[in-house]
């Protein structure tokens, strides 16, 4: 298949590109390199340095007529979305609509859209949250991700353009950037490898569903083979609190860093975890990398990167 991946130089997108290429697919990458990195680009992919809002991106989709559009490009910082909701909406909502229009015109067979398993549900009423859980996002980022799903649903119902929306939990692993809420693993890893103290917000009992990037990327391959559409949670179904996360990172990094506690972040979700039974039933997907193994691989990546960068 010919697959066009937006955000293919980013943390998760680049892993998706690598897997698609290793499976024998032709891959085109669109990335504006605002947060993506040139070093993440797979040389076997055709790269186009474009913003998803640039009309040239839509022209490219119409000209290349990919079989699948895998849309990972996004404004992904929750705090930035709160500070500048217009920028967030312009990128995540309007950018997605432009891509959906181009995909419709190019007769793309399927759109794979990245959503958020934490942000779209807001404060959870059920643990873990199934895809049928109410969606009341408490950040503009969550609103824009949910809106993108709804626009994709409109294009499917009106124009017969099938889509899957991947509701990712807190993804971590090699190539992760140390920013954004889910960047805590990267932030802690870097500090611990340097022997610097790490700060846990509040009492550290707030939980997240940490899922390894390699597991996450596999869904983009499995979704090519299945007809299932709509939202699908991608996580582990297991809650890990920040205190436990810090302890595991100290262990796998053999660090002597001090773990301190700072003030709690206002408005931070206390608990976030997704139900992944639908992913197993509809796509044959399940997480395979235990958190300790995933953290060990992540720390080793950052250790090598620090040695390389000096």
Catalytic residues: 141
List, in sequence order, every residue forming a beta bridge with 5; answer none if it has no partner: 29, 70
Q: For residues 71-95, b (16+ Cβ closer than 10 Å) or e, as one string?
A: bbbbbbbbebbeeeeeebbebbbbb
Locate 178 and state its tokens: 């140390």
User: Which of 123, 146, 129, 109 is closest to 227 using CA atoms?
Assistant: 109
CA separation for the pair 230, 153 (Å, rounded): 7
CA separation for the pair 4, 157 (Å, rounded): 22
User: Does residue 178 contact residue 244 with C-beta atoms inside 8 Å?
Assistant: no
CA separation for the pair 298, 307 (Å, rounded): 14
Contacts of 258 (CB under 8 A, 6+ apart): 197, 198
End-to-end CA distance of the chain: 40
Strand-strand pairing, 68-71 and 259-262:
unpaired
- Peptide bond just before 128 cis, omega within 30 deg: yes
CA separation for the pair 253, 66 (Å, rounded): 42
List, in sequence order, every residue forming a beta bridge with 68; answer none if it has no partner: 3, 110
Locate 104 and state its tokens: 């419709």
List, in sequence order, every residue forming a beta bridge with 116; answer none if it has no partner: 168
Place of tokens 């698609």: 20
Report how far apart, in Å, the C-alpha atoms of 123 and of each of 62, 72, 179, 289 are. 40, 24, 22, 27
């Amino acid at each position: 298949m010919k697959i066009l991946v937006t955000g293919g130089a980013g943390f998760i997108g680049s892993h998706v590109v690598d897997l698609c290429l290793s499976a024998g697919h032709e891959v085109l990458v669109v990335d504006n390199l605002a947060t993506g990195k040139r070093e993440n680009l797979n040389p076997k992919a055709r790269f186009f340095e474009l913003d998803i809002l640039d009309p040239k991106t839509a022209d490219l989709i119409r000209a290349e007529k990919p079989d699948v559009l895998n849309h990972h490009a996004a404004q992904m910082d929750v705090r930035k979305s709160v500070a500048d909701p217009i920028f967030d909406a312009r990128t995540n909502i309007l950018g997605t609509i432009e891509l959906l229009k181009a995909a419709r015109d190019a007769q793309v067979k399927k759109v794979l859209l990245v959503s958020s398993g934490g942000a779209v549900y807001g404060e959870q009423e059920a643990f873990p949250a199934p895809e049928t859980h109410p969606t009341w996002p408490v950040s503009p980022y969550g609103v824009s991700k949910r809106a993108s799903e709804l626009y994709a649903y409109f294009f499917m119902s009106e124009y017969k353009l099938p889509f899957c929306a991947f509701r990712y939990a807190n993804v971590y692993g090699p190539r992760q950037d140390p920013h954004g809420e889910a960047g805590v693993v990267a932030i802690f890893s870097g500090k611990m490898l340097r022997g610097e103290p790490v700060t846990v917000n509040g009492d550290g009992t707030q939980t997240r569903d940490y899922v390894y990037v390699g597991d996450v990327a596999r869904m983009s391959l499995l979704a090519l083979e299945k007809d299932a559409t709509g939202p699908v949670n991608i996580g582990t179904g297991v809650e890990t609190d920040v205190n436990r996360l810090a302890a595991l990172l100290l262990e796998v990094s053999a660090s002597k860093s001090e773990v301190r506690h700072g003030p709690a972040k206002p408005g931070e979700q206390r608990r976030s975890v997704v139900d992944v039974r639908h992913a197993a039933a509809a796509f044959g997907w399940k997480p395979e990398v235990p958190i300790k193994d995933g953290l060990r691989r992540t720390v080793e990546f950052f250790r090598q990167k620090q040695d390389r960068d000096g």
